[in-house]
Amino acid sequence: MEFVVKSGAAEKQKTGCLAIAVSKKELPASATAIDTLTEGYLAGLLKRGDLEFKAGHSLMLLHTHHAPFERLLLVALGEKNTPLSEADFRKLLANLTGQLKAIKSKDITIAIDELAVAEKSHQWVTRQLVEAVEYAFYQFSQYKNDGGKDPALKKVVLLTDRKNADEVKAGLAEGQAIGSGRNVARTLGNLPGNICHPAYLADEAKALAKRHAKLTTKILNEKQMSDLGMSSLLSVSAGSEQEARLICMEFKNGKRGAKPLILLGKGITFDTGGISLKPGAAMDEMKFDMCGAASVFGVMNAIIDLDLPLNVIGMVAAAENMPSGKATRPGDIVTSMSGKTIEILNTDAEGRLVLCDALTYAERYKPEAVVDIATLTGACIVALGHHTTGLLSNNNALAEELLDASKGSMDKAWQLPMGEEYAQQLDSNFADLANIGGPGAGTITAGCFLAKFAEAYPWAHLDIAGTAWKSGKDKGATGRPVPMLVQFLLNRINQ
């Protein structure tokens, strides 16, 4: 989608469609000017009740009297011309993007200044709008013979007052980078397991490094990981024909010598559960078990596009979890890179087994902080549903940063507790710890497991099992939590 920022009077725009905000008791400036141009037609139409004045409602007019624009889209703000709540803004964006997908025009001009949200800047509003458009127009059609259907709309013009133009342009740049990065993550998540395997992800990292001089990539193969003592990670890939990979993408754009921030993604490119085999129903969705890794790729693409002045390392622990004669058995004991021994009671609790060795490997970078992202536990879906990402951390300041980023990006997260009373569930009679706890607090005990390998630095864990993809008719990867993580990094710049 092409985006353009432009200044000028709304009523003078020659465009395939003009979108303006309207309210019941007081028309915004653009609507007032258009009402004058159309000799009271607009106000009369609204008085007749053809538009419900609630956020999430709109009305398309195909012919507007004396107007230079071909169509007029009226977007409802509410009863009064006052800033929207974030919840109402979400509804407005959902309706607006739906209208954009259905429209027959090649271009639309949106009077963006009047889409105000309480306590939010023009930059923020613009970014959210652009992200929403990029999300709505995404297609995954490369494996369909018809190639998908291209929408009619090709260009979005953001109409703003000159005094707000710089903010709108900044919001546009952020929105495009985050929206594009999020779609990179969605594509990787949507790819089938026979194509997107650990070696494929490694090749994607190499290709990204070739395109951007500030990014370098290091790939560890199974021999190298074995030499480092990563028996926990390698226990997951033992039953697969696909070899595991540990991928490190280093973006060096901050102060020389400054400690890097590490984003670590779980990259289980397909998860059968291993010997602890999952039920067959909906197992196809286990291609999404690498969405944590996909989000890291999405963030790395976004921060490159934004040229953020930070040192960031995107790590991916990639493996395929399959049953075979060589697969790890329940009851097996492995020694992690840290030296801690792990009794594997359930081979379907494999994400923590690849992440724990990667967390230990991260120590060599002397990171300022590490955030891991993983579709880790079904228990997180029970706790938080499909709306909110679970957050656990060993550092309150880091947790608050991520929560602030979740609020600033409309990409929700919620912090769960950790404590010794939960960690005791991981006690083993035969090893230093077991890879699962009891039936209760599964998300928390998984976090406690990871915390034992992240004691050398501030660490946070994002459980995206409920938010990384959708099932049903809208089946597909969501690209979350790319917006939250990019906001987290943007906030770091402004500290």
In a domain, 353, yes or no: yes
> pLDDT at position 64, please?
74
Residue type present at position 348: D
Average pLDDT, stretch 166-188? 98
Look up the domain containing 109 and give its range. 2-168
Same domain, 157 and 262: no
Same domain, 75 and 190: no
CATH number at residue 313: 3.40.630.10
Same domain, 209 and 329: yes
Specify whether the CB–CB gap between 19 and 73 falls below 8 A.
yes
Same domain, 298 and 325: yes
Least Cα distance to 107 among 58, 57, 73, 141 occurs for 73
> What average pLDDT is seen over the chain?
95
Give the catalytic positions in this structure: 278, 352
Specify whether the CB–CB gap between 189 and 468 falls below 8 A.
yes
Q: Does the predicted model carry a pTM greater than 0.75?
A: yes
Specify whether the CB–CB gap between 226 and 234 falls below 8 A.
yes
Same domain, 397 and 467: yes
* Residue 455 CB partners (closer than 8 Å, separation 6+): 394
Q: What is the pLDDT of residues 53-107, one digit of tens each?
A: 998 999 999 877 778 999 999 999 988 888 999 999 999 999 999 999 999 999 9
CATH number at residue 134: 3.40.220.10
With cut-offs at 50, 70 and 90, classify the pLDDT of residue 45.
confident
Same domain, 187 and 138: no
Give dist(CA 234, CA 242) in Å, integer: 11
| Cα-Cα end-to-end distance for the chain | 33
Pick the last residue of a domain from 168, 190, 215: 168
For the chain, the domain total comes to: 2
Specify whether the CB–CB gap between 342 and 336 falls below 8 A.
yes
Q: What is the pLDDT of residues 406-417, one digit of tens each?
A: 999 999 999 999
Give dist(CA 129, CA 257) in Å, integer: 37
Pick the last residue of a domain from 129, 147, 168: 168
Give dist(CA 31, CA 425) in Å, integer: 62
Q: What is the pLDDT of residues 355-398, one digit of tens each?
A: 999 999 999 999 999 999 999 999 999 999 999 999 999 999 99
Q: Out of 27-36, 223-232, 336-345, 406-415, pick the least confident.
A: 27-36
Specify whether the CB–CB gap between 231 and 334 falls below 8 A.
yes
With cut-offs at 50, 70 and 90, classify the pLDDT of residue 495.
confident
Quick check: 147 pLDDT over 80? no
Same domain, 240 and 355: yes
Sign of the Cα torsion 321, 322, 327, 332 reads positive
